[in-house]
Structure 1
Amino acid sequence: MVMVRPCFRSIIPLLIILPSSLFTPSSSSLHPNALSKGLSISVDHEHDNLVSPNGLFTAGFYKVGINAYCFSIWFTEPQAKNENPTVVWMANRDTPINGKHSKLSLHDDGNLVLEDADQSTVWSTQTKSTNGSLSLKLEDTGNLVLHQLNGIPCMLWQSFDYPTDTLLPDQLFTKDSQLVSSRSRSNFSSGFFRLYFENNNVLSLLYNGPEITSVYWPPPFLKTWEAGRSTFNNSRIAKLDSEGKFNSSDEFGFFVSDFGIRRSRIMKLDSDGNIRVYSLVGRKKWEVQWQAFSNPCKIHGVCGANSLCTYSQEHGRKCECVHGYKKKNQSDWAYGCEPKFKPCEQGEEDYIQLHHVEFYGYDMRFLQNRTLEACKQDCLNDCNCKGFQFKFDTNFYNCYLKNLLYNGYQLGFEHSTYIKLPKNLVSSFQQALVNEIDPTPVVPNI
């Protein structure tokens, strides 16, 4: 019973100051820190929430759209004016519930159940308890814990075992855990990026897009030991501690730039596929203290297929379609670009040269010690070939023929990529380059 005493202590003053209209037999308002067996939290009551004893975290129904809510945990205070609080966990991110008559209930059998307005079960902990009292409590750490209270408290379930896109300090990340990014800053549904322990025991980042899947961190072109990782472990566990030190069982680790300063922190897999550690500075602003990628264009899939990613400190990341292609979904770069032409059906073809551009992966063939003309001819003879990279490796010029154009970026690559296009599109590309270098003077009207 020790773990539920703080909740009961806080009931007395609340009974004095809150209006009696708030208290109903099914409401959790009597239990601001904990929910007992047989009680519910209703979406109909905006302030029908659980609050951690230190007041830092709140658990309740978070609005994610028009008449759409998710049961969530968030930092109680917004970090800036006119901004929403920072969400750290969601139970039903991909199946929001109705804004009327939906509820979270702690059933007598020990199951915590989220029901939609039609009483259908959207989410549950799938726990069981045959005897003793039950308590669902939001702890100071931001962990939502379901306890069975008969003699020594027994934990039945905790939110820390099922992270969404965020890790909190001292929250263990295990072989059974994963972080899945949101689709965007405003769309909380599951996105295309995932942090998890790979089968080789290495903590990895995966792009799981609409059409392709690829691991992009640690860098896939490096061997495990070259990336400073070890496969020789069997624990598969990682943790960010409260002072800002991160350790993983594959020997990956780091210290955040404000290490040692006592601040609220989160480790988050953002919607752009980058994993970052943020600290709350002055209780007003989340500031990045560490990130896996300084150049976001190295993250796979950020601009989709047949596209090129460029990045600068001043303008940030920018996506654009390769010449001859057009954006597939005007509101979402994840779907990339599609050709304006029908491959192999528009007569003669030629190449445009993209300087210092790499398209990582998806090599259909590797041809060693070839001339540029030989590479061009080999690609022309294959309808599946979209282009090739031509580069000098140690002693030879080699070409890497591509059957897909993914992960294109223009920064820090010494060589060129040649894109195969119908000759009319090659001509328009060359003319655009001429106009860019030597634009025709504009004669003003007199």
Structure 2
Amino acid sequence: MVELTQIYMFIIIIVIIFISQPIFAKEQELLKGFTATPDSSVKSFQPLLSDSLGNYSFGFVRVDQTQLALAVIHVQSLEQVWIAGKSPLAKWSSDIRLLFNGSLVVSDKRVGVLWSSYTDGDRVWLSNTSNLLIESSGDQKLMLWQSFDFPYNTLMENQNFTSTMTLVSSNGMYSMKLGPDFIGFYAKYDANSNSDQGHLYFQHNPMEAKAQVMKGQGPIRAMVSPDGFLGMYQNGSTPVDVLPFSSFQQPGKGNRRVRLEPDGNLVGYYWARSSWLVDFKLISNQCDLPSSCGPYGLCQPGKGCSCLDNRTDYESGQCVTGENKLSNDNFCQTKYGILRRTGVELPNKEIMAYTIMSSLEKCESTCEQKCTCWGAVYSNTSGFCYIIDYPIQSIVEVLDVTKMGYFKVRAGHGKDNTLVGLWVGLGLLCGLVLLLLGVGGMYLYKRENRGVKGYVEEDGMNGGVGPYKNLGTSSFKSIELSER
């Protein structure tokens, strides 16, 4: 009886051990000759490789149902922590193949190679920190390639971020890079822009409390510490700057990571057994984000968002047409309106270049004469004139009415063709009605033989169409149209 009980206990232990093993992906290394194709029945993620603890997995990810990316994910949350190529590689199709022939290669039967690690290794494996590695065989097992050298939008714990790397938000609009002595955040508002760097919208300089950045002593690097901070280093392990998280120096908080979000903010998280909890935000004030209220939006501290023109309903989620907010233009060759607003300033004025000018008119004239200028913000007290050479994003409302904004708004772009046709039809109809009224009026004029003056004097009306000030209602105060 005792022996039977021991057998039962042994079986139970074996079952428990089996169940507790990672089942999200069977393989813990890929060797030369490995191949895989997307499975049409998979709805979100097709695992190909797992780390030894089963926390992270490498495989195919469906993007927007029809496209494919090669990624490393956190298994429990399905969060993507690394993506090859930083964008979908191809359509989810049986024509796609992943192979390991010394290099990891994604290819299409019709197109050819879509992505490659360009290595000559012997095995691929996934570390318990989510780092995908390619190694050579032999006694030393040299590391030839690692995904930590090619981050996507995320930095994991103990992952070095160097001056040769870039974090890019999932929408492709924002990026994070290291300067000689700062962390820079850049926005690419115009998808057709030739500028690779983008527009600098936020800059963090080190406090240098314990160490200083020394010129000529090598580049700086950044790293997420297990102790709960984002550190900047130059030489050695002493940080030149520490950005503490909420859980700073609190052990046992689980895996940590930071991610560049689609709104341009850098946000830190730690894994709390069932979810990722926010632990840090680099930009704490919502109005300091580059486009917190969208293009031509007005961020009101403590109140929320509205539109710069004071007429468009922000609840619609769009203050301007798509063309005005996404692409650059030559304003010398297109029609545009002028939007003026008092009590406004730029969210990133501290890092923007400015010119001291004697008047608002000169500031506006400088922008007006510059074909690529989208607007300008001027301060009457300091004389600072900020020229905006990118599509207008969110502007911050301030109580100081001496700070004024001048913004160009392209006219006639982005309107729905159906609406345009409807207005054209209504215009033709109104023209026809006016023509008939004119003919009838001439007929009555000749018949009654009365002059226009008689009608005017009888009705007590002045000549003309009425004073111009009748158009000066609140709805017309902020918009002026001009042609260039």
TM > 0.5 = yes
Q: 1:309 to 1:159 in 2, by over 3 A?
A: farther
Q: 1:416 to 1:148 in 2, by over 3 A?
A: same
Does residue 297 (structure 1) correspond to residue 281 (structure 2)? The answer is no
Q: Which has the higher helix share?
A: 2
Residue aligning to 1:366: 355
SS in 2 for 1:243: coil
Residue aligning to 1:258: 247
Residue aligning to 1:43: 38
User: Where in structure 1 are there 5+ consecutive unaligned residues?
Assistant: 1-12, 19-27, 79-84, 184-190, 435-446
Q: Is the 8 Å Cα contact of residues 353 and 418 (structure 1) preserved in structure 2?
A: yes
Q: Which among 278, 295, 316 is matched to residue 288 of structure 1?
A: 278
Q: C-alpha offsets along residues 273-329 of structure 1, whole Å, 9 cap, x if unaligned?
A: 111111223x23322211111124323356676x134155675xx474546996232
Please report how far the alpha carbon of residue 38 of structure 1 lies from its aligned counterpart in structure 2 after TM superposition. 0.7
Question: Which amino acid in structure 1 is aligned with residue 202 of structure 2?
Answer: W
Residue aligning to 1:106: 100
Residue aligning to 2:174: 193
Residue aligning to 1:73: 72
CA distance in 2, matches of 1:337, 1:319: 23
Residue aligning to 1:237: 221
Does residue 209 (structure 1) correspond to residue 209 (structure 2)? The answer is no
Residue aligning to 1:416: 403
Q: 1:216 to 1:76 in 2, by over 3 A?
A: same
Q: C-alpha offsets along residues 406-440 of structure 1, whole Å, 9 cap, x if unaligned?
A: 45422457342142789xxx987851499xxxxxx
TM score, norm. by length of structure 1: 0.69
Q: Which among 269, 280, 283 is matched to residue 278 of structure 1?
A: 269
Q: Is the 8 Å Cα contact of residues 339 and 406 (structure 2) preserved in structure 1?
A: yes
SS in 1 for 2:474: helix
Once the two structures are superposed, the pairs formed by residues 22-33 of structure 1 within 5 Å of their partners are 32-33=27-28
Question: Which amino acid in structure 2 is aligned with residue 335 of structure 1?
Answer: L
Q: Which has the higher strand share?
A: 1
Q: Which among 387, 390, 401 is matched to residue 402 of structure 1?
A: 387
CA distance in 2, matches of 1:252, 1:364: 26
Residue aligning to 1:5: none
Aligned length: 369
Q: 1:429 to 1:375 in 2, by over 3 A?
A: farther
Q: Is the 8 Å Cα contact of residues 367 and 376 (structure 2) preserved in structure 1?
A: no
SS in 2 for 1:182: coil
CA distance in 1, matches of 2:75, 2:408: 55
CA distance in 2, matches of 1:421, 1:40: 55
CA distance in 1, matches of 2:472, 2:106: 56
Q: Which among 133, 136, 146 is matched to residue 134 of structure 2?
A: 146
Once the two structures are superposed, the pairs formed by residues 373-384 of structure 1 within 5 Å of their partners are 375=362, 382=369
Residue aligning to 1:60: 59
- RMSD over equivalenced CA pairs, Å: 4.2
TM score, norm. by length of structure 2: 0.64
Please report how far the alpha carbon of residue 255 of structure 1 lies from its aligned counterpart in structure 2 after TM superposition. 1.8
Question: Which amino acid in structure 1 is aligned with residue 247 of structure 2?
Answer: D
Q: Is the 8 Å Cα contact of residues 299 and 407 (structure 1) preserved in structure 2?
A: no
CA distance in 2, matches of 1:271, 1:216: 14
Q: Which among 246, 251, 259 is matched to residue 230 of structure 2?
A: 246
Q: 1:67 to 1:402 in 2, by over 3 A?
A: closer
Identity of aligned residues (%): 18
SS in 2 for 1:217: strand
Question: Which amino acid in structure 1 is aligned with residue 116 of structure 2?
Answer: S
Please report how far the alpha carbon of residue 243 of structure 1 lies from its aligned counterpart in structure 2 after TM superposition. 2.6
Question: Which amino acid in structure 1 is aligned with residue 142 of structure 2?
Answer: C
CA distance in 1, matches of 2:148, 2:407: 50
Q: 1:298 to 1:413 in 2, by over 3 A?
A: farther
CA distance in 2, matches of 1:116, 1:96: 10
Question: Which amino acid in structure 2 is aligned with residue 104 of structure 1?
Answer: L
CA distance in 2, matches of 1:240, 1:253: 10
CA distance in 1, matches of 2:80, 2:275: 14
Residue aligning to 2:461: none
Please report how far the alpha carbon of residue 352 of structure 1 lies from its aligned counterpart in structure 2 after TM superposition. 3.4
Question: Which amino acid in structure 1 is aligned with residue 174 of structure 2?
Answer: F
Please report how far the alpha carbon of residue 207 of structure 1 lies from its aligned counterpart in structure 2 after TM superposition. 1.4
SS in 2 for 1:140: coil
Please report how far the alpha carbon of residue 139 of structure 1 lies from its aligned counterpart in structure 2 after TM superposition. 1.1
SS in 1 for 2:158: coil
CA distance in 2, matches of 1:91, 1:429: 57
CA distance in 2, matches of 1:40, 1:402: 54
Q: Is the 8 Å Cα contact of residues 279 and 286 (structure 1) preserved in structure 2?
A: yes
Question: Which amino acid in structure 2 is aligned with residue 181 of structure 1?
Answer: S
Q: 1:162 to 1:432 in 2, by over 3 A?
A: same
